[in-house]
Structure 1
Amino acid sequence: MQGAALTVRDLSASYGPVRALRSVSLDVPEGACVTVLGGNGAGKSTLLRAISRTLAFHGGSATGTVHFDGKPLHGTGADRVVGEGICQVPEGRQVFARMTVEDNLRAGALGARGDRAAKAAALRRVHELFPVLAERAHQRAGLLSGGEQQMLAVGRALMAGPRLLLLDEPSLGLAPLMAARIADTIREINSQGVSVLLVEQNAALALKLAETAYVLEVGEVTLSGNADTLAASDEVRRRYLGVVDEDAAADAGRATAEHPVLTRWEDTP
């Protein structure tokens, strides 16, 4: 599997009269892992839906441009987007609960390019990443634990052989140990050349996985840059990493000396 570059420019999205995104621009370089941070209602899921062309299914519409591997995606159907190599793992997993694990994985390959041999190879790779899915192939997906369902959701997306994987809150509702296992899997997938756009409220996890980060607030990109630099910012730590003020103050001198000032929030109360 080889990744491909994603370019988003001036993307705005609405649900009827409600504006969810305002002129969002971002880049996912080939083979990179990029994260988008933000609280509830920031527009993170809307961003992924606009990229995967599923926004209309949720009653939304978008303007702006999205290019993948140099090709424009605006006007392209969701099924063709999958065929181009973009797969989304939705928030809340959304597996087919009454279907077996095996049938869920087969469903993921329906929009994929490639012959039967390619799909068989994709299934073997999913089983290598998630052995429990092979063990429970004939079990109904709804009977899996939350963590196992998240594995299935990721595995289902991988069955289409994506070059870009869109992940919407993959750690949501998971115990810390299971969240760490999912993070390790994302790192492994990315190391194989698959580009990743990761939406997460768990900023600590996301900033460890990503090379570049964007912060969304009320539908706008308010900050972007190197993930390590943002992780060292006092303001990011206070807002998204749960660092109390006294801890941030204790090493403020070191952070200021080693990292550039984030002027966007200099005047923030």
Structure 2
Amino acid sequence: MGGSGLVVQDASVGYGPVRALRQVSIEVPDGAVVAVLGGNGAGKSTLLRAISRTLAFHRGALTTGSIHFGGRRIDGLHADRVVAAGVSQVPEGRRVFARMTVADNLRAGALGSAGSRAAKARALERVHELFPVLAERAGQRAGLLSGGEQQMLAVARALMGSPKLLLLDEPSLGLAPLMAARIADTIQEINAQGTSVLLVEQNAALALRLASRAYVLDVGEVALAGPADELSASDEVRRRYLGVVDETAAADASRGVSALPVLRRWAGRR
């Protein structure tokens, strides 16, 4: 397949006898932000693991389909070769090396990079510009950072490999709204600097604001797909993921409840 973006074609994934993805196809064009929405157990993290080739660490396997990046098939590569090809993942839950310093966490992120020493120095300068607090706390153990700072470190560590595509798994999970907004602004800045982003996120409002296109996974299958602005206007997406209900239906339901007969036996009780 041509092009410099990501193309997942008819991917099915199993964990032993359990099928987690069923013929899932998505595309992330070069330079785009694409969101993947869905409830718990929908297969979102499994999709990212299939792309980053980390499924084996979770006893999973790609059973059918193909994954191409930059016109090259990557579903047969080892995880370190996927990083070298330009794909880095930030896992759910941050997963920083808590006993290592901030600086050492960042050095670890550069280990899989094929870049020169000068390129790694530029990558470090870039992440310090994006996250000045990491420069200030370079000698501090990562486990002593706040949750938001640890999320910054996890993203910065992935950026140390100078990826062309960044896979983000629930970056706002567990963060205060203000910190989640800061992470969202950083994602926009990372993308503006030329890095494509595949964003898995339960905060659908945030994800649809950042993305140009989105997919909705439901029980391992693509249930909806389209431009992010169209999905954000979809009644189904608004009801299931944005917490917006049909006001007319809600009013009808309220009138229906008020019209129900009262059980006399209980009416006088307090």
TM-score, normalising length: structure 2 = 0.90
Give 1:141's aligned amino acid: A
- Contact 1:238-1:248 at 8 Å conserved across structures: no
Give 1:118's aligned amino acid: A
Q: Secondary structure at the residue paired with 2:8?
A: strand
Q: Which range is displaced more, 186-195 or 239-248? A: 239-248
- Contact 1:213-1:225 at 8 Å conserved across structures: yes
Counterpart in the other structure of 1:39: 39
Q: Give the whole-Å Cα distance in 2 for the aligned partners of 1:236 and 1:121.
A: 41
2:10 equivalent to 1:18: no
Q: Secondary structure at the residue paired with 2:40?
A: coil
Q: Give the whole-Å Cα distance in 2 for the aligned partners of 1:13 and 1:171.
A: 26
Shift of 1:249: 7.5
Counterpart in the other structure of 2:80: 79
CA shift digits 1:2-59 (9 cap, x unpaired): x940000000001111110000001000000000000000000000000000001100
Counterpart in the other structure of 1:266: none
Counterpart in the other structure of 1:262: none
- Contact 1:198-1:206 at 8 Å conserved across structures: yes
Q: What stretches of structure 2 of length at least 5 have no aligned partner?
A: 252-270
Shift of 1:155: 0.1
Counterpart in the other structure of 1:244: 245
Map of 1:107-256 to 2, 5 A cutoff?
A: 107-246=108-247
2:54 equivalent to 1:57: no
Give 2:46's aligned amino acid: T
- Contact 1:4-1:164 at 8 Å conserved across structures: no
Q: What stretches of structure 1 of length at least 5 have no aligned partner?
A: 251-269
Shift of 1:235: 1.4
Larger Rg: 2
Shift of 1:74: 1.8
TM-score, normalising length: structure 1 = 0.90
- Contact 1:4-1:195 at 8 Å conserved across structures: no
Map of 1:254-265 to 2, 5 A cutoff?
A: none
Call closer, same or farther: CA 1:60–1:116 in 2, change over 3 Å.
same
Shift of 1:245: 3.0
